[in-house]
């Protein structure tokens, strides 16, 4: 079985962290009887520098042909002066839109060895395991009308929050399916008291639950309260589902509960067609231009994104769990990159962290074979 993976390393530390995830994927392929074929393409600032656009046609063609996509990061100060239409982020938004990657899965897990790394008390976040499901192709980022115009001699900026019922229904089903295999509990986040678009959101989520998922406990929460509750008592949540802009904000809030954005992966999934589902996997963190090329970036979020790829695109659930266990074991051994550094821990760089995870995969794999 050969699976085609497209690598979009992107900008900044993207190439560095993607390289470590590829090493892990190659290890899995060698031990799981699966052959991974890797192709590469440009996106973001690096694509603009090479061909004048952040989202080349060749990249889209390769993305459509791939079984899964692994992306590093896009953007940086170098390109901030460009016209909005060709900034690196337009490449990321473009691939999400073209592949209809409407469901963004952002887990926020606290590995036990990092319970002290969070800004919250360990007892508040120890054992944290939340899945935030963010709708990714609608809302204020894509709604029309938009832009800046002159009106009555004043500049007016306008963006529009728009959702259709079918968009809400399909993301609700993704979230409810996830809740069904987790804790059977879903919290839908909106601002239904002041935004009609999200009042409709609430109604449609409730309809889907009542018609198809009566085994799932569904609650609704306003986004401002949800932000407060994530900090006050995050373990009250299991699966959360929300729109594009609210999900963008809440998932970064949840990420910091775990100690660092460098620990948080994500998956962006499309609809299943002909037995194939478009899927892009990427770390939540940005391109970190201040540390680019120094070999000190944390590759764990990208490696965890690869683990999500194993689980959601290739049904290699045991292998995904093995990668997660290897990371937990390395952290338990006291290895830390700078972003999660703690007193008494051993500071390591990007490649050293990758080396340690690969070594732990060897150890855990040997232990499992011996037990069998």
Question: pLDDT for 286-297, tens place per residue?
Answer: 999 999 999 999
| Backbone torsion region of residue 152, taken as left when φ is above 0, otherwise alpha when ψ lies between -120 and 50, otherwise beta | left
Least confident of 59-68, 112-121, 330-339: 112-121
Least confident of 117-126, 127-136, 237-246: 117-126
Say whether pLDDT at 260 is over 70. Answer: yes
Say whether pLDDT at 185 is over 70. Answer: yes
Annotation says 191 is catalytic: yes
Say whether pLDDT at 333 is over 70. Answer: yes
Q: At 293, phi and psi to the nearest 5?
A: 80, 0
Say whether pLDDT at 31 is over 60. Answer: yes
Q: How far apart are CA 266 and CA 288, in angstroms?
A: 17
pLDDT band at 76 (very low <50, low <70, confident <90, very high): very high
- Over the chain, what is the mean pLDDT? 94
Q: Among residues 116, 215, 224, 362, which one is catalytic? A: 224
Quote the strand ranges of 55-170, DSSP E. Answer: 68-73, 103-109, 129-135, 147-151, 154-158
Q: How far is CA 114 from CA 109, 356, 362, 372, in A?
A: 10, 17, 23, 31
- pLDDT value of position 47: 98
- pLDDT value of position 127: 86
- Lookup result for tokens 């659930």: 317
Q: Which domains does the chain have, with CATH numbers?
A: 1-108+260-372 (3.40.718.10), 129-257 (3.40.718.10)
The total of other beta-carbon atoms located within 10 Å of residue 248's CB is 17
Q: Among residues 48, 191, 222, 360, which one is catalytic? A: 191
Percent of the chain with pLDDT over 90: 82
Annotation says 215 is catalytic: no
| Helices (H), ranges, 3-140 | 14-32, 45-51, 57-65, 88-98, 122-125
pTM of the predicted structure, to 2 decimals: 0.90
The secondary structure of 276-307, three-state, reads: EEEEEEEECCCCCHHHCCCCCCCCHHHHHHHH
Percent of the chain with pLDDT over 70: 99
Largest CA-CA distance found in the chain, in angstroms, rounded: 77
- pLDDT value of position 146: 93
- Residue-wise pLDDT for 188-222, tens only, equals 999 999 999 999 999 999 999 999 999 999 999 99
Annotation says 97 is catalytic: no
Cβ(95)–Cβ(32) below 8 Å: no
Q: Among residues 39, 248, 333, 355, which one is catalytic? A: 248
- pLDDT value of position 371: 63
Annotation says 360 is catalytic: no
- Residue-wise pLDDT for 100-131, tens only, equals 999 999 999 888 888 887 778 888 888 899 99
Annotation says 190 is catalytic: no
Q: Among residues 39, 129, 177, 252, which one is catalytic? A: 252
- pLDDT value of position 372: 56
- pLDDT value of position 103: 97
Q: Among residues 141, 177, 207, 351, which one is catalytic? A: 141
């Amino acid at each position: 079985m050969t699976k085609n993976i497209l690598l979009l390393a992107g900008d900044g530390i993207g190439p560095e962290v993607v390289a470590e995830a590829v090493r892990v994927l190659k290890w899995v392929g060698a031990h799981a009887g699966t052959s991974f074929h890797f192709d590469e393409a440009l996106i973001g600032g690096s694509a603009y520098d090479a061909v004048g656009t952040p989202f080349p046609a060749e990249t889209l063609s390769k993305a459509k042909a791939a079984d899964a996509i692994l992306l590093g990061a896009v953007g940086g100060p170098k390109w901030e002066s460009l016209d909005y239409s060709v900034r690196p982020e337009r490449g990321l938004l473009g691939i999400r839109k073209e592949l209809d990657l409407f469901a963004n899965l952002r887990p926020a897990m606290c590995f036990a060895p990092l319970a002290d790394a969070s800004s919250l008390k360990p007892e508040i976040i120890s054992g944290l395991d939340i899945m935030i499901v963010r709708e990714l192709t609608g809302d204020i980022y894509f709604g029309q009308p938009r832009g800046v115009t002159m009106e009555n001699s004043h500049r007016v900026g306008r963006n529009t929050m728009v959702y259709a019922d079918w968009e809400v229904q399909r993301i609700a089903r993704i979230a409810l399916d996830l809740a069904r295999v987790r804790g059977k509990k879903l919290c839908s986040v909106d601002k239904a008291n002041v935004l009609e678009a999200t009042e409709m959101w609430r109604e449609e989520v409730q309809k889907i639950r009542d018609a198809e998922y009566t085994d799932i406990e569904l609650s609704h929460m306003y986004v401002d309260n949800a932000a407060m509750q994530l900090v006050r008592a995050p373990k009250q949540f299991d699966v959360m589902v929300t729109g594009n802009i609210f999900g963008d904000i809440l998932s970064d809030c949840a990420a910091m509960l775990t100690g660092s954005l460098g620990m948080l992966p994500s998956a962006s999934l499309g609809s299943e067609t002909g037995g194939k589902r478009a899927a892009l996997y990427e770390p939540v963190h940005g391109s970190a231009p201040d540390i680019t090329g120094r070999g000190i970036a944390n590759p764990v979020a990208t490696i965890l994104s690869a683990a999500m790829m194993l689980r959601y695109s290739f049904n290699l659930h045991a292998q995904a769990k093995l990668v997660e266990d290897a990371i937990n074991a390395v952290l338990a051994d006291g290895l830390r990159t700078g972003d999660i550094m703690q007193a008494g821990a051993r500071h390591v760089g990007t490649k050293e962290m990758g080396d340690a995870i690969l070594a732990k995969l060897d150890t855990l794999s040997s232990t499992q074979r011996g037990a069998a």
